[in-house]
Amino acid sequence: MTINQPFSRQDRKQGKLSFLLSIRDFVDNVANSSPARLALIVYAGVILVFTGLLSLPGAAADGNITPLHDAFFTAVSAVCVTGLTVVSTAAHWTFFGQAIILLGIFIGGLGTLTLASMLALMVSKRLGVRGKLIAQQAMNNAGRLGEVGTLLRIVITTSVLIELALALMLIPRFIILGESFGEAVWHGVFYSISAFNNAGFTPHSDGLVPYETDEWILLPLMAGGFLGSLGFPVVMVLLERGWRFSRWNLHTKLTIQVSLILLVIGAVGWGALEWNSPDTLDGMTLWDKVLHSVFASVMTRSLGFNLVDMNDIEPSTMLLSDALMFAGGGSASTAGGIKVTTIAIVFLAIAAEARGNRDVNAYGRTVPEGAMRVAISVIVMGATFVAVASGMLLSMTDEDLDRILFEVISAFATCGLSTNLSAELPPEGKYILSALMFAGRVGTITLASALALRESRQLFHYPEERPIIG
């Protein structure tokens, strides 16, 4: 008779090695066949892990298991750096729960392709040629292909340093305002990570409302959020080439220029529409009105902090906010939306068509036709997602269209501004918004590429025939 012996230490090591090798083979196969699909799988896996962590009794202040739809929604909102909430971040979650949310924000802020590439580097020690090409594309082709691993590490280092700088600005202010050293450190770190990653989560039960006239808190948050919305490729160009406009590449020029234009348009428009509103700006000093207007313009672009109740703003202001949220920030950034370079390319194409030019030019460069097709695809797919989700929520609730549209665009654009509709929705409505946040964060093009059954290149060309347009 044979007696079963317990596994030896060598057997356990071999088992772990076999498991790691199987993971490496899976990552290599997926990365080389479809890097976009790898990004999708990694992001979905991270969300499921954080859903499980937030479902633990120790994550909730009352010691009970958080309902699955609420834990899942919060995990998606954190990992997709959105900021929409269905429960109070300060009241419902323990310190452990808030730490899990903060970790999800940091990981999610790195981006899908960066996250997938880093996972491949850690597990398999190599990306594969196609994986490196996709990672390089995520950073706007910054650097040579062989430097992708180094550039990925620079992305993480830059994120940590900027968030540390923001925290060092905020911590002394919270101490001056009467918080203990421990509370000030926690709140400073939380706000710095949330701001730079354009997440919009707040560790205070009443958010930033108590600090609505405090420039020492609002200005660093605006600066961090705006810098995060520019994107890692832009930040790296600024670090390498300085602040001379002529030395920037086309992506950096368009991103910063359009971002500043939208910032000014948003601030002027928001301020003009709410200047005499008794529920928002009326009764404030001139400086506070200007501060609120600029803050609102930055927040609607993706950051998601708010100083006023979104239910109190004028319908025209809500429409302006919808447009700014849908526009979003820079590509490969922590911001959402259809991205400012998409808007820039479409407007450049319109201007070229109006002038009768065959090429779309900007700053001595010609924009390829492929980029214009991608820009149009992003806008159409984004508008389709918003329209379909709005129709679904209208069919299951009695809410007005403007309130639903605001929440849907905020979810798709991973902005986080809310009329509190998310918390009022039934579980199926929360899953719809969760799907929107996921689609908005991974990007419509990445999502389409990942779901494609196959990749092919057409080897023939049909005769051209121009239909009547317009």
Identity at 158, one-letter amino acid code:
T
Question: What are the tokens at 88?
Answer: 């109070």
Which residue's structure tokens are 């999708």?
40
Nearest in space to 169 (alpha carbons), one of 188, 144, 197, 150: 188
Identity at 169, one-letter amino acid code:
M
Q: Strands of 275-409 (E only): list them.
A: 360-362, 365-367
Task: Return d(Cα 22, Cα 343) in angstroms, integer.
Answer: 43
CB 242 within 8 A of CB 249: no
Range 380-389, long-range pairs (CB < 8 A, 24+ positions): 381/444, 381/445, 381/448, 382/326, 382/337, 382/338, 382/412, 382/440, 382/444, 385/412, 385/436, 385/439, 385/440, 385/444, 386/326, 386/412, 386/436, 389/432, 389/433, 389/435, 389/436
Q: What pLDDT, on a 0 to 100 scale, did the predictor assign at position 415?
A: 93
- For residue 359, the tally of other CB atoms under 10 A from its CB is 10
Q: What pLDDT, on a 0 to 100 scale, did the predictor assign at position 118?
A: 62
Nearest in space to 389 (alpha carbons), one of 431, 443, 328: 431
Task: Return d(Cα 170, Cα 184) in angstroms, integer.
Answer: 8
Task: Return d(Cα 427, Cα 281) in angstroms, integer.
Answer: 35
CA-to-CA dists, residue 228 to 80, 195, 214, angstroms: 14, 8, 21
Neighbour-count burial for 313-324, b at 16+ CB within 10 Å, e otherwise: beeebbebbbeb
pLDDT digits (tens, 9 = 90+) for 219-267: 999 999 999 999 888 888 888 888 889 899 999 999 999 999 999 999 9
Task: Return d(Cα 245, Cα 455) in angstroms, integer.
Answer: 38
Which residue ranges of the chain lie beneath pLDDT 70?
1-36, 38, 111-151, 444-457
pLDDT digits (tens, 9 = 90+) for 61-104: 999 999 999 999 999 999 999 999 999 999 999 999 999 999 99
Task: Return d(Cα 148, Cα 129) in angstroms, integer.
Answer: 11
